[in-house]
Amino acid sequence: MSRSEAERKTRQPQWSVGNSVEALNGRRTWRWHMATSRWLTTYALVFALSFMALVGLLEYSVDAAMNREIDSGIRWQLRYYDSVSDEDLAAAIKRKLEHEKGHVNYYGLFAPDGRRIVGDIETLPAGLRLVQVGQTLASTMGATRTLTGDPSAPTLRLLGVVRENGSRLVVGRRLADVEAVRGELNRAVIGGGLLCIVASIAVGLLIGLRQARRVSGMQRVTARIASGELAQRLPAEGRDELAMLAHLVNHMLDEVERLMNEVKGACDGIAHDLRTPLVRLRVHLAKIAEIAGESGDGVASQMISRVRSETDSILVRFSAMLRISEISGMQRRSAFEVISFESLVDELCELYRPLAEERSIELSLRMDPVAPLHADRALLFEAFSNLFDNAIKFSPDGGKISVELWASCEGAQFVISDNGPGIPVSERHAVLGRFYRGEQTKHVSGAGLGLGIVAAILHLHDFAMRIGGDERGATITVDCWPHHFH
C-alpha cells in the first residue's frame, strides 16, 4: 500500500523509543548561554545604573565645591565694594571693568527703580535674591543665571546686595572654567566607566564561556550515559560547585554500574545455567516420547509432546534473553561499516515473501534511493527480520503488509505496516520490554521478546523507533539516523 509524499510528512506515530535522550540532547548549551547572557545583562545594567548614580554624585559634589569657591570670591568683592562710598561706587566699577582681563567678572549697579547705572550686566536678573542692608554675606549662596542681553549668553554665578542708598549692586563670575572642568571630569569618568563595563563584560563572557564548555562536555557525557554507556564519567576538573556535583554524580554512577552489572550477571548466569538442564530435559523427553510411541500409548505421547513444546518455549525465551544481554553489552560501533540499506530491505522482502504467500498475504514494497548507512549489517538484519516476522505473524490470512523506504531530510526512514490487531497506545511502551504479550495477541505463539531485541539493536545504532497505527493494524517507523551526541 503506497502513500503520497504529503501522507508521509503528515503521518505521526504516537509513541517512539529513544526520545528521552533525544529530548535531553535537544537542550543544547544555548540555553545555558542565554542564562549567562541574562546574568551579564543584569550585571551590566546594575553596573551602568550604579555608575550613572556615581557620575551624578561626583558632578553634584564638584559643582557644589566650585560654586562655594566662586561664591567666596564674589563675597570678597562685595565686601571690598562695601567699603566704597555710594558716590564713588560707579567710578570704581568703571575702573574695574576697564582693567578686567578675560572678561571673567561681571558687574551691574542699578538704581532703586531698577535702572542700570553702570556695568556690563544690562538688566537686573529676574528672581535674584539680594542681601538686604544689615544681613551678613557669610551664609549667603549665589545663584546661577544666563544673561539674556548678551549674544554669547554666558552663564554666570551671581550675588547681589542692597546698599544703604537703595541702589543694587550685582557681581557675577563667568562659569566657563567650571563647565570646562565639569566636561573634562565627565569625559574622564564616563570613558573610564565604559572601559570598566567592557572589561567586566569581557571577563564575564570568558568565565561564562569556560563554564559553558564544561557544561557542554558534561552534557555530551550525560547523553552517552543515557544511551547506555555506563562506563562514561563526567569531567570533574576544578574545585568549584560543578566539580563537586560531577564528583557526586560519578560516585553515584559507579554504584549504579556496579549494581546493574551484578544484576545483569546474576540474570545472565541464571539463564545460561538453566539452558543446560533444559536441553538435557528435552533430550530425555524425546527418548520418553520415542518409548511411548513404540508402546502405543497415545495419551502419554500427547502429554510428552506438550511438555516438549513448553520446554522449547522456555529455551527460546532464555536464548532471546541472552541475545538481548549480548547486544546491550556490545562495544559501540565496534563492527560498524558502510552498508546499502536498499539491498538490506530488498533481501528481507525476498526472504519473507514466500512466507507471506503461504498465507495469501500481499507484501508490497515501495523503495526510494537512500544514502548508505554506517551500521552493523548483521544486527540490522536481525532487527528488521523481527519486524517482518511480527507483521506476518499478526496479519490475518489474505491480509496486507506494506514496506516503505524513503529519504527524509535527516536520513533514511523505514516503515512497515500491517492490518493485524494493532498495538493499543497503552501498550506501546510495554511491548518493548521483555516477555510482554499484548492482550489482543496472547493467542499467537511467541516469547514476547522480539521487539525487545529490535529496541536493543536500534538503541545500539542510535536509531529511533516509533509505534503507530490503530485497531486496524500496526505501523512501525524506524528513523535511521543518529539521535544522540557522541
Domains for the chain: give ranges and CATH numbers: 25-227 (3.30.450.20), 332-486 (3.30.565.10)
Cell digits of residue 350: 525476498
Cell digits of residue 144: 546661577
- The mean pLDDT of 100-129, rounded to a whole number, is 86
Which of 7-11, 238-242, 448-452, 457-461 shows the highest mean pLDDT?
Answer: 457-461
Q: What is the pLDDT of residues 402-424, one digit of tens each?
A: 999 999 888 899 999 998 888 88
Higher pLDDT, 480 or 460: 480
pLDDT of res. 237: 78
Which of 237-241, 339-343, 423-427, 451-455 shows the highest mean pLDDT?
Answer: 339-343
Residue 2: closest CA among 422, 348, 356, 400: 400
Please, what is the end-to-end C-alpha distance for the chain in angstroms? 37
**Which stretch of 14-23, 80-89, 244-253 has the lowest confidence by average pLDDT?**
14-23
- The mean pLDDT of 359-383, rounded to a whole number, is 89
pLDDT of res. 344: 92
Tell me what the pLDDT averaged over the chain comes to.
77
**Is residue 361 pLDDT above 80, yes or no?**
yes
- The mean pLDDT of 311-323, rounded to a whole number, is 63
Q: What is the pLDDT of residues 177-199, one digit of tens each?
A: 777 877 887 788 788 878 887 88
Band the pLDDT of 10: cuts 50, 70, 90. very low
**Which stretch of 77-81, 148-152, 412-416 has the lowest confidence by average pLDDT?**
148-152
- For the full predicted model, state whether its pTM sits above 0.75: no
**Is residue 29 pLDDT above 80, yes or no?**
no
pLDDT of res. 319: 62
Q: What is the pLDDT of residues 247-291, one digit of tens each?
A: 888 888 888 878 777 766 666 666 666 666 767 776 777 777 777
Band the pLDDT of 149: cuts 50, 70, 90. low
- The mean pLDDT of 155-184, rounded to a whole number, is 86
Question: Residue 361 to residues 205, 398, 416, 476: CA-CA distances in angstroms?
Answer: 64, 5, 14, 18
Alpha-carbon distance of 170 to 320, in angstroms, equals 109
Band the pLDDT of 26: cuts 50, 70, 90. very low
Higher pLDDT, 56 or 38: 56
**Is residue 222 pLDDT above 80, yes or no?**
yes
User: For 333, left (φ over 0), alpha (ψ -120 to 50), or beta?
Assistant: left
pLDDT of res. 189: 79
- The mean pLDDT of 10-16, rounded to a whole number, is 47
Q: Look up cell 559501540; give the residue.
A: 332
pLDDT of res. 4: 44
**Is residue 16 pLDDT above 70, yes or no?**
no
- The mean pLDDT of 392-408, rounded to a whole number, is 90
**Which stretch of 102-111, 208-217, 231-240, 434-443 has the lowest confidence by average pLDDT?**
434-443
**Is residue 18 pLDDT above 70, yes or no?**
no
**Is residue 144 pLDDT above 50, yes or no?**
yes
- The mean pLDDT of 62-84, rounded to a whole number, is 87
**Is residue 395 pLDDT above 70, yes or no?**
yes
- The mean pLDDT of 78-95, rounded to a whole number, is 89
Beta pairing class for 143-146 and 155-162: antiparallel
pLDDT of res. 412: 92
Contacts of 277 (CB under 8 A, 6+ apart): none
Higher pLDDT, 422 or 308: 422
pLDDT of res. 271: 61
Which of 129-133, 203-207, 321-325 shows the highest mean pLDDT?
Answer: 129-133
Alpha-carbon distance of 148 to 432, in angstroms, equals 91
Which of 18-27, 402-411, 448-457, 467-476 shows the highest mean pLDDT?
Answer: 402-411
* Chain-centre distance for alpha carbon 191: 35
pLDDT exceeding 90 applies to what percent of the chain?
Answer: 11
